Amino acid sequence: MTKTKRSGSTRSFKSWAKYGAASVLIILVLAWQAGVFQSKMSSGEMPDPRPKVNGETVKVQKVQLPVSRRFAGSLMPREMIELTAKISGDVIAVPVQAGDQVKKGQVVMQVDPDIPEAQRAEAEAALEMAQAQFDGAEELLSHIEQAAAANALPEIEAIDARRIRNRAARAVDQRKAALEGAEIQLQYTDLTSPSAGVVVDTFRDPGDFVAPGRPVMAIYDPAKLEVVAPVPEGLVKSFSPGREVRVVLQPLNQTVTGTVRSRVRQVDPATRTQEVKIAIEPPEGAFPGMYAEVQFELPGEETLMIPSSAVGRLRGLTYVKIVDSEERIARRLIRLGRVKDDQQEVLAGLDEGDRVLKVYGSQE
C-alpha cells in the first residue's frame, strides 16, 4: 500500500514539473521577443535581434471619446386636425377611409340635407310674407303722407304709418338673415377637409347620428411629422433647439437626420423624463405611431486611441509593434475597448506618448 502511494505522488510531481517548465519557457520567449534581456547584454557579446523601424509610426494619444445614448420615441404628426360636425343629422355617406389621401376642400362626409332644406324653405316663405307686409306698409305710408300734406289727415296718422313701415322693414331684414343662415346650414351637409392630408380614422359611419361640435374624423399632414421621445431630465439640457440628432425609423430600416424643435417644460413625475420634439423629413412609408430611435452623442472621458490598422491578432490575443527610444520594434500585448470609426480604444498595455507602427503587418 505504501509503494502505491509513492508511485502516484511521483507521477503527479512529474506532471506539474512538466507543465511548469513549459509555462516558464513560454514566458521567457515572450520576454525575449519584447527585448527584456537585451539591455543586460553588451553589444559586443550579441547583436540586438530586434529589427529597426522603417515604417510609418503614430503616437498613442488621449482623445475624448463620445458616449452614444439611445432613446425610444414615436413618430407623431406635428398637428392633428379633428373634423367636427356643424349640424345635426344622419350621416348618409363617408367617401373616404383611414389611410386615404385627401385634398383641401374635398368632401369627406355627407349629412342628410332634409332638415336644413326644410329650414331653408320655411325661411324663404317667412321672407316672402315679411316682404309683402313691408310692401303694403310702404304703399299705405305713401297715401297717408300725401293726404297729410293736403291737410286731409292729421300728421299723427303719418307718424303711425312710418312706425308700421319701419317695423315691417326690420322684419324683412330678420327674415333675410334667417334665410342666409338656413343656406349656410345646408352647405354644412357636405363636410370638407380644411387642408391636404391623410385620414387617420373616421369616427362615424353611414346611418350614424351626428351633432354639432362632435368629432367625426381625424386628418394629419404627412409632410409635417416629428419624433417625440422621453429623455431623462438630467440629459434634456443637451437637446438644445436646433441641434441635429440621428433618428432611426426601425420599421423602415432607415436613418434620417432630425433637428430638435422644442422641449416640453414639464417633467413626468413617474419616469423623471421630459418630452423632446424632433422635426424630421419623413421618408416614404412613414406614418404616425411608428417606432423611432433617437441616437445622441454626449461628451465622454478622455481615453487612449490608436489606429485599428496598428493592431495585430493571434490566437485570441491582441498586439501592437511598439517602437523604443533606439528605434527598435518589439511586440506588446494590449487590451482593447470600444471602436470609433477607424480607431481602437486601448484599455491596458500602452501609455500616452508611446510610438507604435501605424500598420501592424507593414514590417515583420
- From CA 192, how far away is CA 106, in angstroms rounded? 5
Q: Which residues contact 170 (CB under 8 A, 6 or more apart)?
A: none
- The confidence score (pLDDT) of residue 18 equals 54
3-state helix/strand/coil string of 256-293: EEEEEEEECCCCECCCCEEEEEEECCCCCCCCCCCEEE
Which helix (DSSP H) or strand (DSSP E) does residue 31 occupy?
A: helix 2-33
Evaluate if residue 23 carries a pLDDT over 70: no
Which helix (DSSP H) or strand (DSSP E) does residue 184 occupy?
A: helix 155-187
- The confidence score (pLDDT) of residue 336 equals 86
- The confidence score (pLDDT) of residue 330 equals 82
> What topology does CATH give the domain 43-65+301-362?
2.40.420
- The confidence score (pLDDT) of residue 119 equals 86
At 214-246, the pLDDT tens digits run 899 999 988 888 999 999 988 888 888 998 999
Kindly report the CATH class assigned to 71-79+220-298: mainly beta
* Mean confidence (pLDDT) of the chain: 82
Evaluate if residue 174 carries a pLDDT over 90: yes
Give strand pairing partners of 227: 75, 278
Q: Please name which of 98, 99, 96, 100 lies closest in space to residue 108, comparing C-alpha atoms.
A: 96
Average pLDDT score over residue span 150-162: 82
Average pLDDT score over residue span 142-160: 82
Phi then psi dihedrals of residue 345, to 5 deg = -80, 135
Q: Please name which of 342, 238, 343 lies closest in space to residue 294, comparing C-alpha atoms.
A: 238
At 263-312, the pLDDT tens digits run 988 898 999 999 999 999 888 888 888 999 998 877 767 788 888 888 88
| DSSP classification of residue 193 | -
- From CA 209, how far away is CA 187, in angstroms rounded? 18
Q: Please name which of 279, 218, 227 lies closest in space to residue 80, comparing C-alpha atoms.
A: 218
- The confidence score (pLDDT) of residue 41 equals 45
Beta strands across the sheet bearing 80-84 = 80-84, 215-220, 197-202, 101-102
At 58-97, the pLDDT tens digits run 888 888 777 778 899 999 998 888 999 988 889 999 999 9
- The confidence score (pLDDT) of residue 296 equals 81
Residue 363's pLDDT band (boundaries 50, 70, 90)? Answer: low
- From CA 223, how far away is CA 104, in angstroms rounded? 14
- The confidence score (pLDDT) of residue 329 equals 81
Evaluate if residue 8 carries a pLDDT over 60: no
- The confidence score (pLDDT) of residue 250 equals 87
End-to-end CA distance of the chain: 58
Quote the radius of gyration of the chain (alpha carbons, Å): 45
- The confidence score (pLDDT) of residue 5 equals 45
Q: Which three cell numbers stand for residue 332?
A: 506588446
Question: The cell 405611431 sits on which residue?
Answer: 289
Q: Please name which of 338, 356, 344 lies closest in space to residue 305, comparing C-alpha atoms.
A: 344
In single-letter form, the type of residue at position 175 comes to R
